[in-house]
């Protein structure tokens, strides 16, 4: 047995705003950041690493919240915590004073994600398995026990969840074998940021096609004429067979979204992503009815499982883009996957930023192996930024994620990266700040 002896939370920020990586109609300057949690034990061989993702300012607020949320873990026996991750999750979640600050949304929920991501990473490391494998080796009963089904029983019961998981259990191994050959299909957003020139857009689209991608995503919503010009360029490069997706990052009201997407219909987008407020379930449903056959995708700002439950009940989504650092780790993410299976909506997780690709590969693989059992209409985001900071970076070949092999949730960053990019005292930021003053 090992005892948790320390919680360290690091505010890590990468200066991505300098290159316009990640620029879109809502977010003009973006410094990809992580509130990064390190759980250490008295066993030097057993630690846990996790984070939530932000885009710069406020990352310190998430770091403070994560540090507070993790304190009850200090001095606890890791076997006790990791043998029953449902109870551990509910134990951390049970602070009613902190609950008031959400409930289950915003900074406190991002902090819960960071802490539980580190706990799940530790659980996978203790088992000597990558997280997707740890999950794929759990029985349906064990999975349902860790899933947070509170407030969901009007949409899915414990017995329904158990039956869905049990039905796929005998064929898990065959799907693992298949993915070991093919990998899990992904798409790229690297080509489509608003800050890029037409030439850079054209070149990046061509590179994406050459790299084997069949799906390309472009940011839209700042200027209609510009959107039409950029979509035309993209279609010229990728042709009519490849899929083109568009992402408005919440800039429109509902009527405006319907009008603007209609004006882009000629380019046959597979989906419009985040057309309006991520909280607007009924608005997404109205947009979906109006823009069909163009699909509606949302979820990177989906605050919790109760929002996704309603998105499914209202038939508001064609694609569910849950976020691995915004939902409260596997306990809540699993509940959303179970709902998505019940309502037959494909989950295409949001990724990019820093470290999200490392996390979501585990989720998508597990979903195919144990929950949905399907690859139909499923493609997971991949953005080729900042992977060099991770000890176990995701590997993408021919437009597909290779299966992670190292133990854990692939969340660990290099000490050297933390030393350089921790804010404000890391070597990079200390120099930037010194230059400014």
Residues that bind a second copy (CB under 8 A): 26-31, 54-58, 60-62, 64-65, 68, 95-110, 150-154, 250, 253-256, 276-283, 286, 301, 303-304, 306-307, 309-310, 313-314
Q: At what angle do helices 106-127 and 329-342 cross, to 10 degrees?
A: 100
Distance of CA 244 to the CA centre of its chain: 20
Return the number of the residue (277 or 406) whose C-beta is nearest a second copy. 277
Annotated catalytic residue within 219, 284, 309, 341: 219
Active site includes 129? Answer: no
Return the number of the residue (31 or 412) whose C-beta is nearest a second copy. 31
In a 3-state reduction of DSSP, which class is residue 228?
helix
Measured CA to CA in angstroms, residue 117 lies from 48, 227, 298, 357 at distances of 8, 37, 22, 14
| 302 Cβ contact partners less than 8 Å away, ≥ 6 residues apart | 278, 308, 311, 320, 321, 322, 323, 326, 327, 336
Distance CA 83, CA 119 (A): 11
β-sheet bridge partners, residue 215: 243
Return the number of the residue (191 or 325) whose C-beta is nearest a second copy. 325
Distance CA 259, CA 80 (A): 55
Annotated catalytic residue within 350, 362, 385, 389: 350
Return the number of the residue (276 or 372) whose C-beta is nearest a second copy. 276
Q: Smallest gap, in angstroms, from Cβ of residue 399 to a second copy?
A: 28
Q: Smallest gap, in angstroms, from Cβ of residue 27 to a second copy?
A: 5
Active site includes 28? Answer: no
Q: Smallest gap, in angstroms, from Cβ of residue 381 to a second copy?
A: 17
Q: Smallest gap, in angstroms, from Cβ of residue 346 to a second copy?
A: 22
Return the number of the residue (154 or 225) whose C-beta is nearest a second copy. 154
User: In terms of DSSP H, where are the helices of 128-186?
Assistant: 131-136, 140-146, 158-168, 172-182
Q: Smallest gap, in angstroms, from Cβ of residue 275 to a second copy?
A: 11
| 323 Cβ contact partners less than 8 Å away, ≥ 6 residues apart | 53, 299, 300, 301, 302, 349, 350, 356
Which positions are catalytic?
A: 219, 350
């Amino acid at each position: 047995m090992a005892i948790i002896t320390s919680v360290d939370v690091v505010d890590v920020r990468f200066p991505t705003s300098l290159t316009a990586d990640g620029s879109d109609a809502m977010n003009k300057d973006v410094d990809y950041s992580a509130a990064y949690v390190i759980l250490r034990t008295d066993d030097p061989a057993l630690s846990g690493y996790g984070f939530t993702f932000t885009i710069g300012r406020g990352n310190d607020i998430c770091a403070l919240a994560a540090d507070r949320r993790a304190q009850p873990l200090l001095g606890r026996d890791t076997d006790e915590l990791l043998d029953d991750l449902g109870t551990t999750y509910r134990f951390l979640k049970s602070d009613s004073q902190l609950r008031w600050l959400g409930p289950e949304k915003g900074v406190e929920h991002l902090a819960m994600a960071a802490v539980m991501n580190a706990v799940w990473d530790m659980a996978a490391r203790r088992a000597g398995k990558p997280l997707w494998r740890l999950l794929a080796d759990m029985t349906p009963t064990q999975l349902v026990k860790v899933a947070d089904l509170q407030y969901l029983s009007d949409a899915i019961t414990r017995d329904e969840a158990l039956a869905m998981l049990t039905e796929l259990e005998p064929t898990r191994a065959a799907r693992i074998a298949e993915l070991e050959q093919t990998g899990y299909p992904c798409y790229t957003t690297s080509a489509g940021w608003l800050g890029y020139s037409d030439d850079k857009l054209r070149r990046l689209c061509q590179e994406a096609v050459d790299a084997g991608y069949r799906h390309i995503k472009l940011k839209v919503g700042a200027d209609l004429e510009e959107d039409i010009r950029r979509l035309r360029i993209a279609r010229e490069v990728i042709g009519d067979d490849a899929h083109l997706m568009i992402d408005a990052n919440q800039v429109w009201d509902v009527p405006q979204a319907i009008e603007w997407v209609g004006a882009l219909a000629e380019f046959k987008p597979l989906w419009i992503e985040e057309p309006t407020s991520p909280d607007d379930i009924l608005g997404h449903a109205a947009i979906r009815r109006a823009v069909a056959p163009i699909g509606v995708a949302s979820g990177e700002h989906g605050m919790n499982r109760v929002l996704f439950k309603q998105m499914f009940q209202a038939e508001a989504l064609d694609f569910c883009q849950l976020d691995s650092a915004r939902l409260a780790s596997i306990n809540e993410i699993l509940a959303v996957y179970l709902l998505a299976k019940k309502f037959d909506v494909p989950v295409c997780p949001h990724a990019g930023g820093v470290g999200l690709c490392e996390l979501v590969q585990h989720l998508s693989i597990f979903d195919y192996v144990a929950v949905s059992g399907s690859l139909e209409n499923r493609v997971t985001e991949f953005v080729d930024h900042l992977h060099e900071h991770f000890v176990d970076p995701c590997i993408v070949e021919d437009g597909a994620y290779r299966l992670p092999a190292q133990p854990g949730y692939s969340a660990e960053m290099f000490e050297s990266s933390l030393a350089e990019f921790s804010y404000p005292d890391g070597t990079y930021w200390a120099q930037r700040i010194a230059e400014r003053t």
